[in-house]
Structure 1
Amino acid sequence: MFFRSLKPLLAGERHLHLIWLAMGSVPMVEFAAHANPDALVLDLQHGLWERGTLESAIGVANARVPVIARCEENSHSAISRALDAGAASVLVPLIETADDARRAISAGRYPPMGKRSAGGVRPLRAGLEAMRAADRDVAIGLMIETAEGVENVEAIAATAGIDYLFIGTGDLALSRGTSDSQVIGRDCERIVRAATANGLPCGIFTGNANAVRQAFESGCRMAVCANDIDLVKEGFVAAREAAARSEQDLGFSF
């Protein structure tokens, strides 16, 4: 096996802590993997990942932790590119209908279950039978992040072949035209209910420890406990503020 599978974790009962990485830094992926999260998410949709850095990042991480690739789009090329690089899971964005779900599943599975093409350096390394075996361990996650997706979430969650759902609250707020916590909260509750009714874990992007706790209390099984953009941004701000306080304690002004 050329990746650490996410499926055994999805089949369990415990909560899963994810680290989300968008900056395209392979060394940062290595540091994140050594923090021992349950999985890493590489954001190919909005992040800075290129094919070469994606291959390298998965290479340094996938022996330690499962790697989830959030694809650029729901297409055969985007999904196969992520899986050919060796990702343990694809997280497919902007799923709005059961047809969207079936298209994503087809792109993520080899025949006869789907239409994924054989290829990629890592999948081909051990031969055809190894590729078929790995196919059974690939996890396919679908992002519900629009008003239409919420309205169709029961049909989406009932689609055969899905391994987990994931809530994108940022795009959902844009789609709803509001960030009102009650409105978005009701949508999240509906998504979690649909996932649970179909025996699927549900994840959500969260920004801090308090939000992670609330997500787990609301029924989510997966939550983002850290992301590289916020960690770097907040780290620089905190360092600058600490330096300023130190200078002020010495009587210097700015």
Structure 2
Amino acid sequence: MLFESLKPALHAGAPLDLIWLALGSVPVAEFAARARPGALVLDLQHGLWERGTLEAAIGAAAQRVPVIARCAENTHAAIAQALDAGAASVLVPLVETAGEARRAVEASRYPPHGRRSGGGVRPLLAGVDAMLAADREVAVGVLIETAAGVANVEDIAATPGIDYLFIGTGDLALSRGTHDAEVLARDCERVLQAARRHGLACGLFTADAEAARRAFAEGYRMAVCANDIDLVRNGFLAARAHSLGAAANPAGNPHE
């Protein structure tokens, strides 16, 4: 198989802990894959990934864990780039209607089930039959991260070919014009219940392992246990604080 499929885990119903990678580092992706999370997410929308590093990261990780590519946008070109690189799943941003969900599915599947163009270096490595077999294992997720997406979530969840919903709380707060926790919680619950009614997994972007555990307890099936930006930043800060110590950090320290 071209990649470790995400679909068996989605169908099994067990929680999927995700490691979210935005820094564009192939070695970090390989290290993360060795930790054996439920899946890796490579953020192509806001992260630093380029085509070469994307291909290399998926090559290093995809036989160990499923790799989800958060696409830059809901277009055939963006989705094809992620899948041609060998991603097991695409997570399509800013989906607000059933029509946009259908477009994501069509771009993710070869004819007669969609409109994806056949080709790509990695998909054809083992021949056309293997390429078509991999096509059947591609999982399509959509990000619900606007007020319009929440309003239309029932129709989005009912779209044939959608495998999971994922809530982007940051953009949802921007769309709502508020960070009020109760408002956002109601939106998240509405998406979660729609996913359940349609037999789909529902994911939530969470900041750390503790938040991921809370999300799983609330019924979410996918949550982010770690992301590379926070791990690197917090690791450097913690190392420096530990090395200096409070007593060794006088008021005049030029590093503060």
Structure 1 length normalisation: TM-score? 0.97
Mapped pair 1:50 → 2:50? yes
CA shift at 1:253, angstroms?
6.4
Q: 1:249 to 1:12 in 2, by over 3 A?
A: same
Task: Describe how 1:159-174 pairs up with structure 2 within 5 A.
Answer: 159-174=159-174
- The answer on whether the counterparts of 1:167 and 1:203 sit within 8 Å (CA) in structure 2 is yes
Name the amino acid aligned to 1:198: H
d(CA) in 1 for partners of 2:43 and 2:74? Answer: 14
CA shift at 1:210, angstroms?
2.5
Give the gaps of 5 or more residues in structure 1: none
Q: Secondary structure at the match of 1:122?
A: coil
d(CA) in 2 for partners of 1:210 and 1:31? Answer: 21
**Identity across aligned pairs (percent)?**
68
Give the gaps of 5 or more residues in structure 2: none
Q: 1:253 to 1:80 in 2, by over 3 A?
A: same
Q: Secondary structure at the match of 1:187?
A: helix
In structure 2, the residue matched to 1:245 is 245
In structure 2, the residue matched to 1:218 is 218
d(CA) in 1 for partners of 2:250 and 2:2? Answer: 58
Mapped pair 1:8 → 2:8? yes
Per-residue CA deviation, residues 190-232 of structure 1 (Å, 9 max, x unaligned), is 0000000000000111002221122112211000000000000
CA shift at 1:100, angstroms?
0.4
In structure 2, the residue matched to 1:91 is 91
Q: 1:126 to 1:172 in 2, by over 3 A?
A: same
Name the amino acid aligned to 2:37: P
Mapped pair 1:148 → 2:142? no
d(CA) in 1 for partners of 2:164 and 2:250? Answer: 56
d(CA) in 2 for partners of 1:219 and 1:147? Answer: 22
- The answer on whether the counterparts of 1:15 and 1:222 sit within 8 Å (CA) in structure 2 is yes
- The answer on whether the counterparts of 1:189 and 1:218 sit within 8 Å (CA) in structure 2 is no
Q: Secondary structure at the match of 1:69?
A: strand
- The answer on whether the counterparts of 2:210 and 2:225 sit within 8 Å (CA) in structure 1 is no
For the aligned residues, what is the CA RMSD?
1.3
Q: Secondary structure at the match of 1:124?
A: coil
CA shift at 1:251, angstroms?
8.1
Count of residue pairs brought into register by the alignment: 253
d(CA) in 2 for partners of 1:89 and 1:193? Answer: 22
d(CA) in 2 for partners of 1:249 and 1:81? Answer: 51
d(CA) in 2 for partners of 1:213 and 1:182? Answer: 20
Q: 1:252 to 1:145 in 2, by over 3 A?
A: closer
Per-residue CA deviation, residues 102-140 of structure 1 (Å, 9 max, x unaligned), is 000000000001000011111111121111111110100
In structure 2, the residue matched to 1:107 is 107
CA shift at 1:250, angstroms?
9.3
- The answer on whether the counterparts of 1:54 and 1:85 sit within 8 Å (CA) in structure 2 is yes
d(CA) in 2 for partners of 1:108 and 1:100? Answer: 13
Would you identify which runs of 4 or more consecutive aligned residues in structure 1 move more than 2 Å?
A: 249-254
- The answer on whether the counterparts of 1:96 and 1:144 sit within 8 Å (CA) in structure 2 is yes
Name the amino acid aligned to 1:227: N
Per-residue CA deviation, residues 45-74 of structure 1 (Å, 9 max, x unaligned), is 000000000000000000100000000000
Task: Describe how 1:115-126 pairs up with structure 2 within 5 A.
Answer: 115-126=115-126
In structure 2, the residue matched to 1:236 is 236
d(CA) in 2 for partners of 1:184 and 1:242? Answer: 37
Mapped pair 1:70 → 2:58? no
- The answer on whether the counterparts of 1:6 and 1:88 sit within 8 Å (CA) in structure 2 is yes
d(CA) in 1 for partners of 2:184 and 2:251? Answer: 47
Structure 2 length normalisation: TM-score? 0.96
Q: Secondary structure at the match of 1:143?
A: strand
d(CA) in 2 for partners of 1:249 and 1:171? Answer: 42
Q: Which shows bigger deviation, 205-214 or 71-80?
A: 205-214
d(CA) in 2 for partners of 1:253 and 1:243? Answer: 17
